[in-house]
Each structure stands twice: as structure tokens, then as C-alpha cells.
Amino acid sequence: MEMATYRAWMYNRLLPGRRGYTTEFLNGLEEFMAIARKQPVYLSEGKIRCPCKSCKNEAYLTLDEVNVHILQRGFTPRYWYWTSHGERIPRTNVDVDMHSVSSSSQQWGYGDVNRHQDMVFDAAGLNHEQQNEEEHPNMEAAKFYEMLNSAQQPLWPGCENTSELSAAITMLSLKSKHNMSQACFNDVMKFMKESSHPKNVIPFNFRETKKLVVGLGLSSKKIDCCINGCLLYYKDDSTLKECKFCEEPRYKARNAHKKNSKDVPQKRLHYLPLIPRLQRLYASVKTAEHMRWHYENRREEGVLCHPSDGKAWKHFDHLYPEFANEPRNVRLGLCADGFTPFNQLGTQYSC
């Protein structure tokens, strides 16, 4: 399906010279109202989210009010899929309305926690309204948005300000802020689940809550390593049972009484994969700007205020002009605060 033509009527409201409304718009609006009328929130409250240009799906109004708003103002931009009115993004399509997502992140406030949530939405590239009309997310990003969108369902039918995802993020931030034990977390979730609307989608424990957020793509990878730090059990060495260098066993001694217990590594490294993090940095308008800073803010000759003004950086640009000409090029720096070279442990000398 061609994106630009799907429900094109939504943004073809007025006849030339503003002499009334186009027929396709009036017909389309009727179709929209018919779908909106089936919303559970309409059946229980008599109101729906208004998708007009100024309400942006944030206000709940009666059908008549919504009708007037849309006729006067038109639909909020890019609202091709009526996700705030019960529609899901079709799997094959790669465009997503981000209004329902960003508006719920803004409405919903909890001080510090809101900041955390903002961070997550920033990481997801969702705290901005305007997107280039021409540019659609690639398949991987689309899948991610789709997941995000499905986690945006209200916490229970009619719940206005909290979605499944925002509840999960809030609970996780509260857990870390107050140093909550996992048992306490599970008890709180259990209580919340039991005391809310019977049709709620509150995650019922820590594992379920984490599963929701892990989909945001910022998870870590666990790699076993030698207890003395000589090697990682990774790639070619991933099946070794003891260290190649110091011969320390990889796993802790098994408990003879527990026959089917899993092997427990003596030491484990948590690796934070770099690529998804870089992708997130480019996905948010706020951080993407910083990622291009070194390219867009060139200094005059002789002024040194950023690594990109230095000789090493320029030398690299000279060697790889194709790389250097891409404003989004990125380099990784390695920074260490004191290490002893040549394994001279115990000596005074450090770099």
C-alpha cells in the first residue's frame, strides 16, 4: 500500500477557495465517527479522544463536539492510523502515528519518574512531533514502533492517562529510586492488579514488567568470563569449561544434592551492545543534533575546543574522506583513568 495515498481524504478537507468541504472528506469523516462510536470508552463515558489539529487526541469530547472540531480544524497531522480510536497499525506497513504515544507521555506526570519516562521516550525517538513527511522508518524501526504502540494500550478500558508501557516504566523507576526489593515490587504489582479494573493489563510481576521494557532495545548481553579476568567465554571460546590461561574452572562447583541445577558461572560480564544504543541516539531529534555537532560546528584554523579540531581527527578525515563527508559519522574514544602498563602490578608507575 502506498503510504501517501492511504486515507489521503483526511488531509483533503476543503474545496478550492474554501467553498465548503470535499465529498470524500465528509464520507471519510462519517466512517471515522462510526468507528469511534464503537469505542469502549464511548460506550461507558459517552466521549472519545478528539483527533482534531488542536486537541491532538488529548482531550475527551462528545461526538458532536469532535465532529465540529474536525470540520473546523481538520485532523491532527499524520493520523492515518486511528490508534487512539482502537485501530492497530497493520503489520506490513511502516508508518506510525506517534501522537498517541507522545501525548500520553506528556500528560502523565510523576515528577522524577516522568523524567525517566521522558528519557525512555527520547531513546525511542518519540518525544518529537514533526517528522520529515518523506521519510519512513526502516523495517526494524517500524517493528520497534509497532511494539511500542501495542504497549500503549490503556491500563484498563477507559483509563486516560496511563498506558501499559508507562506503568511499567514508572514502576521500574520507582523500584530503582527507592531501592525496592524484587519481592516488594511483586507484592505491589499484585496489589495493584487485584485492586484495579477487572480488565486491566497491569504486568503482574517484575519479570513481566521487564519483558515489556526490554523490547525497547536497550538490553544487555551476559558473557561468562574467567574469574581472574584472563578471557571471555565468547565466540571460539564460548564452549570452554576452564580458562585457557590460568585453568580456573568456568563454573562454580555443583551442589551434589541438586542434580538438575544449572551451571553457575564464577564471573559474568554484562555487555551493553553498542549498535542499538547508537541507533537510538540518532532516532531522537534532540540527541541526533549532538551526533552531528562535530561536523556542523567547524572551528576556524588555530582554535582548539573539541577533539574534532585536533590533528588526529583531521588526519583520520584526510585518510577516509568518504567517511568524513557523512555528517552522521561517529568515532569512539577510549578513555582510562590510570592503568599500569606492561603488567607491572605493585609498581608506582601508572598512566
Pick from 198, 204, 101: nearest CA to 147: 101
Q: Pick the closer one to Zn ion by CB: 43 or 246.
A: 246
Window of 105-113, 177-185, 242-250, 299-307 that interacts with Zn ion by CB under 5 A: 242-250
Total of chain residues touching Zn ion, rule CB under 5 A: 10
List of residues 6+ apart from 350 with CB closer than 8 A: 338, 339, 340
- Find the shortest distance in angstroms from Cβ 247 to Zn ion: 7
Q: Which helix (H) or strand (E) holds 270?
A: strand 268-271
Candidate list 15, 246, 264, 330; residue touching Zn ion; CB under 5 A: 246
8 Å CB contact between 118 and 105: yes
- 68 vs 324 by CB, closer to Zn ion: 68
Q: Tell me, residue by residue from 75 to 114, as one string, x for binding to Zn ion by CB under 5 A and - for no binding.
A: ----------------------------------------
The stretch among 42-50, 95-103, 183-191, 206-214 that binds Zn ion (CB under 5 A) is: 42-50
Q: How far is the CB of 239 from Zn ion (least distance, A)?
A: 16
Is residue 69 involved in binding Zn ion (CB under 5 A)? yes
**What is d(CA 55, CA 185) in angstroms, rounded to the nearest whole number?**
36
| Choices 40-48, 65-73, 167-175, 259-267; region in contact with Zn ion by CB under 5 A | 65-73
Q: Which residues are CB-contacts of 216 (< 8 A; sequence separation ≥ 6)?
A: 120, 123, 124, 144, 148
> How far apart are CB 230 and Zn ion at their closest, in Å?
3
* Interactions with Zn ion, residue window 213-232 (CB under 5 A): 226, 228, 230
How far apart are the C-alpha atoms of 258 and 235, rounded to whole Å? 30
Instruction: Please check whether residue 227 is in contact with residue 266, taking contact to mean a CB–CB distance below 8 angstroms.
Output: yes
**Beta-sheet strands, E only, within 22-168:** 48-49, 60-61
Q: Which stretch binds Zn ion (CB under 5 A): 43-51, 140-148, 195-203, 208-216?
A: 43-51
Q: Which of 177, 178, 184 is nearest to 206 (CA)?
A: 184
Which residues is 48 bridged to in the sheet?
61
The region of 27-35, 45-53, 234-242, 281-289 touching Zn ion under the rule CB under 5 A is: 45-53
Please, what is the minimum distance in Å from the beta carbon of residue 131 to Zn ion?
Answer: 22
- Closest contact distance (angstroms) between CB of 133 and Zn ion is 22
Buried b (16+ CB within 10 A) or exposed e, 82-101: bbbbeeebeeeebbbbbbbb
Identify which of residues 69 and 99 has a Cβ nearer to Zn ion in the complex: 69
When the beta carbons of 11 and 320 are compared against Zn ion, the nearer one is 11
The residue ranges that bind Zn ion (CB under 5 A) are 50, 52, 55, 69, 226, 228, 230, 243, 245-246
